[in-house]
Amino acid sequence: MTLRSTSPSSQLRVKVKYFSSATVSTADKFNLTWASQTMGDQFGPDGRLQGEEQTQTVQCNAGTCTVTVKAPQFALVFLDNQDSVGSGLSTQT
């Protein structure tokens, strides 16, 4: 996926979080990740994400940002350069 910007900044970058699955099978309900975090296996989830959250930073070149999206996954692209991408995480359930 390619994003184009009219921003004059040569330091333009975007941040990306991926939702991924190991397979495209609809039977795979438990091996899903959001920003490299998982809810756990079939009998272990308690509703909280587990693992370290990973947000990728993509450096843009001449106003063009190329974000790689592999199958089966989708990407949520943050177009601003705020450092608040990881904010808003729940600390209690």
> How much is the average pLDDT of 64-90?
74
Closest CA to 20 of 12, 8, 32: 32
For the stretch 31-59, pLDDT in tens is 788 898 887 776 666 778 888 999 999 99
pLDDT of residue 43: 67
CB 22 within 8 A of CB 81: no
Task: Compare 84 and 37 and report the one with higher pLDDT.
Answer: 37
CB 14 within 8 A of CB 27: no
